[in-house]
A and B are shown apart, each in its own frame.
Chain A
């Protein structure tokens, strides 16, 4: 049989040649931004393995923005910081690749995504390389030694703080009977609701009933009808959810004629989801900072203004303070540790005590690597306008850890 090279053979040669060329061409430098000092250089390099695109980018980017600004602040005291960002596309596998790339490129610390599944992939790399990783935007016992690893930290508002603050605020307002509406698409809202129920019961509150829905449900009409049927049995609806499903739930509760106060948590922070509810009133959510220029801490309002100037738009949620707060925590720990080496920095962070940050004072819990004493802002919507309402310091949120697993 006479044989001849086929077009497919030529294709194969082409594929191999292109792949080899691309591998060689890109293989020389895995650093995503390059040209800056890494280990042993003058500044500590933070590799930001976060989402610039995809569903979690709205939560990841504000913290990155203010962390990068704080790193460039020439007046800041303490060790110099430098931030390199690489997009993990809101995808766990990409996040692991990005973590490898950033640490290969000289990152001393890793900033990880707010999303637990994505952060888990990143920390598989950082933990194995003895590198401290932190997420600025949440604070969950599962991120620390009880979950992702001994070198992983959460500097944001803890789930336990959210649960405790929501319960204490509701009880303080005199709303002793509530109806719960819980989003089950992710476990985050359910964990907040679970902690809320425990603390609310301790405060003498009662739960008149509970309904569930999924974030991508187009309608919660049946749940709203059931809640309306109990009208008079509750003083407020407690909503554990996040946008966009949480926004649709609020809209449909109001459309169903349920006019009682709606109390929610950090998952519903921001006004961006409420555009379709023009006269929303009596709605309350929690935040680490007011994004509306009326925070009780003037420095927070200055940062919000600077953020708006730099990015061209006002912060969507209070998450913008997280980056600035993280920079303060890291500078204090790096100064104490004398460098960014994993074990030394870990020990410094665990023994750091209370640190002054932009939004107040915070203490890192050495057991859970979380922050439980962050002050919480209650944000209120009145006639469609959102603004600061109340400052809370929830009591002993760490006690809720067993109820928020």
Chain B
């Protein structure tokens, strides 16, 4: 449990304190990129949405120590459900006449659609989790990967509903930087509360020593299933934002490629801390965007620089290799981050 500090953080509920620095980082990033505008704001918006997704994954993998490869499948479900529920009825009738009437005749406001997407994805996770949460280690990774493939395959082949492998276009655009930051802050707060709750304590006990936790009367499988459902619902919320950012989604955008990006963000930042999820996302996003700009040619500190084709891919690979070798536990080393001034709450590893 966090220890109450004697500074101004002492007036805050303990469950909120670990969320302070990650929340400030996200809010500052949102303001900074929105101020820059244009492509920088767009890159910032993507990064903030990825914060929601990575923090959602850390709600499960960070607290249980079980790596889930299925979460991008939940992001995909959230994205498609929100898209299908918010697209105008007339547009759906025109371009997707074979869609089941229950979807074709409905157009919900974005917040309601996102909530429905979270609920449906939560149900899917609850059903899948009943089987998957019994597994651990490599078996769990393989099983969650299978779930990802299953979702990806259904989305990519259900032509009448999802347009199959073709992109779904005409999705109303609602996600602004402000909305994405607000959603990320709510997700960070929820993750912080989860970590400090009795459920969070039991999950961490199960993560650190499953045999001892079970011997202490903790039902590890049931608790992991609860965390799995919760994190899946928030991952779906990230997907809802993604679909509402571009106005188009396709199965190509999810699957293994996004899974690698999300896991990299989590590992680079530090798997076991909330701050790690946010720092990892910010570092990977900034590095990616910077290298991409240098590759395409940009003005850097007053000089025009242009890198060779493929610089960003090679540069990112090398940077992540260095980070993982230098700090195997991630940049935060699994620690939460305290505010850098005044007397404050000090949090150590495994809050």
Contact = CB atoms under 8 A, between A and B. Distances in A.
B42 A100 contact: yes
Contact of A5 (B5, B283, B304, B338): B338
Given A92-B250, A124-B246, A26 B346 contact: no
Interface stretch (B55-63, B131-139, B162-170): B162-170
A23 B275 contact: no
A25 B39 contact: no
Interface string B313-351: 100000000000000000111011111100111100000
Contacts of A92: 167, 246, 248, 250, 252-253
B130 interface: no
B279 A12 contact: yes
Given A6-B337, A30-B39, A33-B297, A52 B166 contact: no
Contacts of B343: 3
B290 interface: yes
B346 A8 contact: no
A243 B341 CA distance: 59
Contacts, number: 170
A66 B301 CA distance: 34
B21 interface: yes
A89 B279 CA distance: 25
A97 B295 contact: no
A101 B43 CA distance: 10
A114 B283 CA distance: 32
A313 interface: no
Interface residues of A, number: 57
A147 B169 contact: yes
Given A5-B340, A100-B42, A101-B38, A12 B167 contact: no
Contacts of A347: none
B338 A3 contact: yes
B14 to A, nearest CB: 14
B290 A26 contact: yes
B301 to A, nearest CB: 5
B231 to A, nearest CB: 22
A20 interface: yes
Contacts of A30: 38-40, 298
A35 interface: yes
Contacts of B164: 187
A35 B297 CA distance: 11
A97 B46 contact: yes
The CB with the most chain B CB atoms within 10 A, among A1, A18, A93, is that of: A93
A350 B121 CA distance: 45
The CB with the most chain A CB atoms within 10 A, among B247, B298, B312, is that of: B298
A201 to B, nearest CB: 22
Given A22-B290, A23-B36, A97-B42, A32 B252 contact: no
The CB with the most chain B CB atoms within 10 A, among A1, A23, A100, is that of: A23
Q: How large is the interface on B (under 10, 10 to 19, 20 to 34, 35 or more residues)?
A: 35 or more
A29 B37 CA distance: 11
Contacts of A101: 38-39, 293, 296
Interface string B278-298: 010011001001101101111
B6 interface: yes
Contacts of A46: none
Contacts of B207: none
Interface of B: 3, 5-6, 21, 25, 28-29, 32-33, 36, 38-40, 42-43, 46, 95, 159, 164-167, 169, 173, 245-248, 250, 252-253, 257, 275, 279, 282-283, 286, 289-290, 292-293, 295-301, 304, 306, 309-310, 312-313, 331-333, 335-340, 343-346
Given A6-B338, A12-B275, A31-B299, 9 more contacts: A16-B28, A23-B32, A26-B293, A53-B309, A92-B167, A96-B245, A97-B39, A97-B43, A187-B165
14 contacts: A1-B6, A3-B345, A4-B346, A11-B331, A11-B337, A20-B32, A30-B39, A31-B299, A53-B309, A86-B296, A86-B297, A87-B295, A96-B246, A120-B250
